[in-house]
Structure 1
Amino acid sequence: MNTSADRLSRLLNLVPYLLARPGITLGEASGDLGVSERQLREDLELLWVCGLPGYGPGDLIDMVLDGDRVTITYDAGIDRPLRLTADEALALVVALRMLAETPGVADRDAIERALAKIESAAGDLAGAPVAVSLPGNADRVAGIRAAVERGRALELTYYTASRDATTRRVVDPLRVFVAAGRPYLEAWCRRAEAVRLFRVDRIDAFAALGEPAAPPPQAAPADLAGGVFRASTDLPLVTLRVGRAGRWITEYYPCERVTDHGDEWEVALRVTDLAWARRLVLGHGPHVRVVAPEELRAAVAGEAAAALQAYGSPDPAG
């Protein structure tokens, strides 16, 4: 699988490789680098928009493609030793410390070696009073991380917000990672027979089992470059009319379409479960209305009518 980390590593190696071989053919370069010629062309297209802050003429990496031969004409300073400011060095130290606490995302030994070199170069700055830990319940994250590192299967009691339900299931962990400030467990769920993401703060209880984790061959970590939520076309499409107080929905959730109708916006988005969408709409009162599907519109109208009727009923104790 061609991950973002693989591509970044390849791009960092590509510039010095090409600098040392001006005029090399794409076929020869792709053979040396172990990628297809098509992938190499895509990497070169990406390099054209990489460079120094400012990202204008004279800031970006430049090259000449003459037929099937490529020559780097401007490397944007990649051949010069890196000089970090105090803030940049501290930010890098903090990021590496966080990465070292997150299993399954990279080679921990390599991270710790890089961290040791940067801390040594940073001197007293590396000892700044900055504590780094994974967000969420620290004991829960540590326990799950330990089970992942030992390769043990887990039994989870998990709250699924989209269905407002708590279930028990056995999973084979793949990795623990942090996305958008939240820790997640990615694992093969034996109940669903598929790879699933579990927010750690929604794991009510867990227990490491005596058996080893045994995910099947098709259980591969998901590509999360586009975010944790993947709005596939097989999910229900919900269309809403939102007022000014509900426009935050367009910033918080990925939307397929947003149409401005003056005081209201029409928003189309994919949801994992219509019950979750029903609770979202009911929680915003008059600021959000359902356009489609009819099933959701009827469910919201029914619950709203029942609530109004309950408020209008006389108090039997009164």
Structure 2
Amino acid sequence: MTATRGAGKAAAARPAGSRASADRLARLLNLVPYLLARPGIEIAQAAADLGVTERQLREDLELLWVCGLPGYGPGDLIDMAFDGDRVTITYDAGIDRPLRLTPDEALALVVALRMLAETPGMANRDAIERALAKIENAAGDLVGSAVAVRLPGDAERLDLLRGAVQRRRALRITYYTAARDETTERTVDPLRVLMVAGRAYLEAWCRRAEAVRLFRADRIDALTELDEPAMAPPEAQLHDVTAGVFRPTPELPLVTLRVGRGGRWITEYYPCEEVRPGPGDEWTVAMRVTDLTWARRFVLGLGPDVTVISPPELVEAVRAEAAAALDAYAVPQPATPEPTG
């Protein structure tokens, strides 16, 4: 008895449980060539070979049934037949053929891997280089001439920062603070250099702020190692960055926004205290910010996809700056000539 595709579609709509999507994708990609090499294999035997339960394998087969090439017509989807407890792939939708990269895809992979290899502090650099060599060898002339990627100034700057930490020397730095859109001169006592979410930071005691601060390496415009030793006070404590650099605390300003569909992405990139669906496509989002100056620039950058609800001073600051921007685009009216007597 051969099963029908419609039954597979209905079954595939059922929840797949709590398995991680990445794990399931790996199983599905392995499942097709495995079944192609063993037509008519018993499901129990296949489950044992693949290290899954029979129920899990059947659910994977039901999902596999509605996978295939774009177009998703009857001739594009993976098809299979069941004969009792045996399964056979009857159409593989081309998944047995090697992946062919377009020139743009090959170049994007090469650039991404080279950037990854150049990231300071990156572990398993040898594995990245091996993967890069394989892709470049397979792509051949697709990527054109050799691609060189350098993260601007990072490697040299990080060497200087690490040297200052090792030598226990104070630094004078010129630093750009994005939250306030300003550049300042500071003298700092370096504590360590660390990587968080792919970015390099100098953690140091800032004599100007009289506190431990994290300085993004790519925002240090200039630095000079001083002759004096670094002398961070005993109360200087390292930050816990396991959850990221920014850690919202109750004393920080709380901003409430109403965002449309185009602005929902902020809930995935910024820590939010509350996300509440509203009428239609709008969400109400509450988030802590370092200061309201940063929040004003952030909100203005989102354009019409956001409305500020609170605090009142942020509402007024955004309104005033938006009005000033509109005034700058206003067309001056020609002067009315005075009547002649």
* TM-score band w.r.t. shorter chain: 0.5 to 0.7
CA contact (8 A) 2:118 2:151 kept: no
Q: Is the 8 A contact 1:156 1:171 kept in 2?
A: yes
Distance 1:126 1:315 in 2: 62
What is aligned with 1:277?
Answer: 295
Q: Is the 8 A contact 1:134 1:183 kept in 2?
A: no
- AA of the residue aligned to 2:192: R
- 1:214 Cα deviation from its structure 2 partner: 0.8
CA distance in structure 1 between the partners assigned to 2:330 and 2:233 by the alignment: 56
Q: Supply the AA of the counterpart residue of 1:271.
A: V
CA distance 1:135–1:145, change in 2 (3 Å): farther
TM-superposed deviation, 1:314: 2.4
Q: Give the Cα separation in 2 of the matches to 1:239 and 1:135.
A: 36
> Alpha carbons of 1:130 and 1:148: their partners in 2 closer, same or farther (altered >3 Å)?
farther
In structure 1, the partner of 2:244 is: 227
Q: State the partner residue of 1:295.
A: 313
In structure 1, give the amino acid aligned to 2:315: R
> In structure 2, what residue type is equivalent to 1:267?
V
| SS of residue in 1 equivalent to 2:245 | coil
Q: How does 1:1-318 map to 2 (within 5 A)?
A: 102=121, 128=130, 137-261=154-278, 262-314=280-332
- Residue type at the aligned position of 1:236: P
2:169/2:227 contact within 8 Å kept: yes
Unpaired segments ≥5 residues, structure 1: 1-52, 55-96, 103-110, 120-124
Identity of aligned residues (%): 60
- For the 8 Å contact 1:159–1:165, the answer to whether it is kept is yes
Q: How far off its partner does 1:156 sit?
A: 0.7
Q: CA deviation at 1:130?
A: 6.7
User: For 2:193, what is the secondary structure of its paired residue?
Assistant: strand
Q: Deviations over 1:114-166 (max 9, x none)?
A: x9xxx9xxxxx8984779x9966211111111111111100010000011110
1:212 maps to a residue whose letter is P
Instruction: Name the amino acid aligned to 2:260.
Output: G
Rate the CA distance shift 1:313–1:216 in 2: closer, same or farther, 3 A. Answer: same
Q: How many residues align?
A: 202
- Change in CA separation of 1:134 and 1:210 when aligned onto 2, cut-off 3 Å: farther
Instruction: Return the offset for 1:315.
Output: 8.9
After superposition, the C-alpha distances for 1:202-245 in whole angstroms (9 at most, x for unaligned) are 10100000011111111121111221101111110000011111
Give secondary structure in 1 for the equivalent of 2:224.
strand
| Change beyond 3 A, Cα 1:315–1:183 | farther
TM-score computed with the length of structure 2 as normaliser: 0.54
- Residue by residue, what CA displacement relative to the aligned partner does 1:85-120 show, whole Å, maximum 9, x if unpaired? xxxxxxxxxxxx999x75xxxxxxxx9xxx9xxx9x
Q: Give the aligned residue type for 1:249.
A: I
Aligned partners of 1:171 and 1:187 also within 8 Å: yes
Cα contact 1:240–1:291 (8 A) shared by 2: yes
Letter in 1 for 2:220: I
